[in-house]
Every structure is written in C-alpha cells, then in structure tokens.
Structure 1
C-alpha cells in the first residue's frame, strides 16, 4: 500500500513581521511558520483567569461535541450560548477530568470562533468585539489596510480537532496560548481529500482508513506543532486541520489577497467560494442535471466529454 508523503512546515525566526519581509518569504504561496515575532503583552497576560476577568461578561455561541473530532459535514456538535467566563472555566479544565456542568456529557469538547456583533452583516473583529483585551495584541499587518477582512478570536478545549477545510482568503493564525498541531495539504491535493463542499470527510488525517479512502494515500501532508507566539501563514486554498493539544487561545487574521470584487460581499465568515467560481459551479450543476435525462451510457459519455473540455482548459489547450 502506498505510503503518504509527509513534510514539515518551514520555520523562520524573526522579531519583526512587516509587509516587505512577509512578501519576500511567501512569494511561493506555501505555508510558513514565523517564530519569535513580538505579538504584544498577550503572550504573558492571556491566561484563563485574565481572560475570564477581562471579557467574561460577553455571551458567546460555541460548538459543543461529545467527540474530539468535530465534523461539519455530519454535524456531530451542537451550538450553545454561554457566558465567556463559564466557557473559559469549562474549556480550560484539565483534560480527563469530568465536568461538573455540561450540555451533553462530562467529557464534552468545546470550540469557539468569534462572530461579529450582527452575525448576518458584521465580520469578526477582535478590536470591535473585545476592546478590553485587543490592545494586548500586536496584529502583524502584512497587507494594505484596505484589504483587511477580519480578525477572529478562537478558544478551544484540549484535544478538540477542527475539520479539514480550505479558505478563499490568505490568513495568519496567531497562536497565543497553548500548543496546536496543524496539518495542511496543497490545493493540488483536492482530488485526494474526499470533499463535500469545502470540507473533507476525513476527520483524522493521521489515521485515515485507506481502505475507505484509497486516494488519500496520494496526498502530501504538511505537519507541524505550533508553539505559543507562533504565527503560521495559511495561503488561500490550502487545506488545513488543526488540533488543540491543550487549552488553546488564538487569533486569525484574514485579508483579501485578490481583487475585492472577486469575493462575495455578503459573506461575513469569509468561507464562500469566489464569485466566478460559484457561478461556474452553478453551471456545472445545471449541466449535470440536464444529463440526468439521458440513458446511463450516454450520460457517462457526455460527462466524460465535459471533463475532457475542463482538463483541456486547465492545461491551456483549446
């Protein structure tokens, strides 16, 4: 059986991360970890007690699951509202110990992704939603100010693992408290990841069942451990899977690395496909629906003909 290729995400040591330095190191559009950057006093201040005291009165909507591997395809989690103080208390409890208060069971896992004030119209912005702690954090603006999209505050309980997915914008994941394991796959590995929408149905890339997912063996896995203070560059379209090894606090910065008009202006989460891609997908859906009216052999033939045209377009042929 074929063995999957595995690589380490390269690490660059630097105290300062500005646009010029960032562009010089990311021109190949592959992931990189920046280590040693001054991200502010949050590195020393942001522990469970400090965050609970500073922002504990905020109410948040969280993911709650009895499983450590969160599955967005099959939705093995619930959304629950809770005070941030209580959420931090529960999610920072030592792993293995049963919770006294819980939604599903005493060993449930938690994940928080901050939202905008108006979840339908406003993007997440740590300076707007959490001004009490925002000044503790030095966000590295490696892009022009007009391209900024969002800054997302994230807190996860030990062992919780987020589904493999891609984003359409470049982003930086700033790990502030706790360690994380990150696994990434290049965009070219899309055929091997068994996608539904923008998410893979393979929940554990380290222990995938190759008898069920044989194509996954052809993927190239980039895997590294993120330490407190690390900043990882996640290029748009790179698939990523993140696991909190202990109580974890992080902030994501997303920006529009392409022309702003290419992005859906009603997308407050930053996870909708680019406008031209969404239109193309609609065309494919219509084509497949039209072919459903043909006998099986004809449907197969004309589907292969469509695939041939797409492949020719991709290779630059007419």
Structure 2
C-alpha cells in the first residue's frame, strides 16, 4: 500500500548453506548481521580514506538539494580529486563549491573505461582492497561488480531497481557521511544479460526485446481510428494479463 514501509528481517550468524537453501530462493530484502567484512568497518574514516584514496580523479553527482531525482536530472556532473571529494562530502557547509555552500555530493565509482569496464573497488582503488572482504555466498563466476559509493549527510538517492538483485524498488538515504560498497552478483545465466551493460541496470535481453515488440504493436494500433484502437488495446491488455500471470506462462 502507498506509504507502507517494508520491514526488512535482520538475521545474524547465517551460514552460506542456510543462505543459499532457505533465504536466497525467497528473493526478498534481508539484512545479514555479523558478517566479517574486513577492517573497512573500523578503518574507513574520513582521514584514512582521504590518504588511502589519494588524488585519483573521480566523476561525481553534485546537487543543490538533498533529494536527487534521476528523471528531472536535478544534479550536475563534476570531477574532483578523490581526497577532496571525501573531505567535502563529510562537510555540512563548503568553503569551495560548484552550486551552493550546502550542496550534496554522490560518488558511484566507475570502471576505467565506463563504456567497457564494470566498477570493481579492487581495481579502481587497490590501496583499499586489503581492507574489505567480500561475502562468499555466491560462486566467483557470478560476480558482476563491486561499486564504491560515497555520499553527503542527508543525501537521498532516487528510487530505482537493480537488475542484478531482488528487482525490488528502493532508494537510499545517508543519515550521515556515507561510505558503502555494493557487490552485485548475477542471478540469471550470463547470456540473459546485455553484454554492453557496465552499470548492471539494463533490463535482461529478453525483457528489452519484449518491450520493443510491444512498442511496435502500439505504433501499429495507432493506425486505427480511436474507437478501434481503444477496443483492441484493451484486448491486448487482457491478453497480456491472462498470459503473463498464468502459472503455465508460455
């Protein structure tokens, strides 16, 4: 229901066997506590990240407001040295800024060539690699990317879904200076994914193809007078509902 929040279960001490057999098949959001993620949980302070990340230039989102909107694009892209980004992102007010003294920053790390390479913190930030341990729940060949994220206090990322996860719509609010690493694993066979997708946000190939077919069908219906177009469009909707939600979907 609108406005209703999903209560996400929090479990501690979950083994790989328990996760794969009982939790993962449910395909629902879940918080696993007590996982050994390495020294990053204690070492990654503002000062430490500034020093370890160095002056590598990173492309960032800069917004004048806390709620970033991907539809209206209420942000701009800028480039900063990593150490300066960390320092600015930890501040409430800025002496140096692009838009305003209380602007917000968001980093989503990219591959060396964003058109060809996925983000992997171990490659883009090698000095931080030793601080983090990836959970060993999935097979190595299922690994897609590990995205390093940094955000200003109060920043809210737009609502979206990830193709490499539970397709659950979600957004993220950083209540304080936020540092995180998203690790994406492939749920489907590799051939189901768009090979040009480096962000993990392109729909599966079959879903994209189906959407294109539907668009062509709707353009074809547009050739009919309005009364006929409305009649046959309703028939199509009913046909899709009947087939798509049938247990014997073929």
Same fold per TM (> 0.5)?
A: yes
Would you tell me which structure has more strand in proportion to its own residues?
1
| Deviations, residues 179-220 of structure 1 (Å, cap 9, x unaligned) | xxxxxxxxxxxxxxxxxxxxxxxxxxxxxxxxxxxxxxxxxx
Work out whether residues 19 and 142 of structure 1, in 8 Å CA contact, stay in contact via their aligned partners in 2: yes
SS of 2:163 mapped into structure 1:
coil
Work out whether residues 11 and 34 of structure 1, in 8 Å CA contact, stay in contact via their aligned partners in 2: yes
CA distance in 1: counterparts of 2:243 and 2:111, whole angstroms? 40
Which position in structure 1 is the counterpart of 2:138? Answer: 143
SS of 2:159 mapped into structure 1:
strand
| Deviations, residues 129-150 of structure 1 (Å, cap 9, x unaligned) | 1110111001102111111100
Q: CA deviation at 1:5?
A: 3.4
CA distance in 2: counterparts of 1:117 and 1:69, whole angstroms? 28
Which position in structure 2 is the counterpart of 1:309? Answer: 239
CA distance in 2: counterparts of 1:257 and 1:34, whole angstroms? 19
Question: Are 1:76 and 2:74 matched, yes or no?
Answer: yes
Aligned counterpart in structure 1 of residue 29 of structure 2, from 15, 28, 31: 31
CA distance in 1: counterparts of 2:52 and 2:181, whole angstroms? 17
**Paired residues, number:** 247
Which position in structure 2 is the counterpart of 1:21? Answer: 18
Work out whether residues 110 and 157 of structure 1, in 8 Å CA contact, stay in contact via their aligned partners in 2: yes
| Deviations, residues 208-263 of structure 1 (Å, cap 9, x unaligned) | xxxxxxxxxxxxxxxxxxxxxxxxxxx2x111110000000000011111111000
CA distance in 1: counterparts of 2:201 and 2:5, whole angstroms? 27
CA distance in 2: counterparts of 1:51 and 1:315, whole angstroms? 49
| Deviations, residues 19-72 of structure 1 (Å, cap 9, x unaligned) | 323213232111110112111111111001000001121110000010111100
Q: CA deviation at 1:3?
A: 6.5
Question: Are 1:41 and 2:74 matched, yes or no?
Answer: no
Which position in structure 1 is the counterpart of 2:201? Answer: 271
Question: Are 1:257 and 2:171 matched, yes or no?
Answer: no
CA distance in 2: counterparts of 1:163 and 1:89, whole angstroms? 23
The 1:20/1:107 distance shift into structure 2, 3 A limit, reads same
Question: Structure 2, unaligned stretches of length 5 or more?
Answer: none
More relative contact order, 1 or 2 (CA 8 Å, 6+ apart): 1
CA distance in 2: counterparts of 1:26 and 1:293, whole angstroms? 46
SS of 1:133 mapped into structure 2:
helix
CA distance in 1: counterparts of 2:90 and 2:15, whole angstroms? 33
Work out whether residues 126 and 153 of structure 1, in 8 Å CA contact, stay in contact via their aligned partners in 2: yes
Which position in structure 1 is the counterpart of 2:94? Answer: 99
SS of 1:250 mapped into structure 2:
strand
SS of 1:238 mapped into structure 2:
coil
The 1:134/1:3 distance shift into structure 2, 3 A limit, reads closer
CA distance in 2: counterparts of 1:42 and 1:107, whole angstroms? 28
Which position in structure 2 is the counterpart of 1:66? Answer: 64
1:121-140 alignment to 2 at 5 Å?
A: 121-140=116-135
CA distance in 2: counterparts of 1:28 and 1:141, whole angstroms? 19
Q: CA RMSD in A?
A: 1.5
Question: Are 1:55 and 2:53 matched, yes or no?
Answer: yes
CA distance in 1: counterparts of 2:220 and 2:27, whole angstroms? 38
TM-score normalised over the length of structure 2? 0.95
CA distance in 2: counterparts of 1:260 and 1:67, whole angstroms? 38
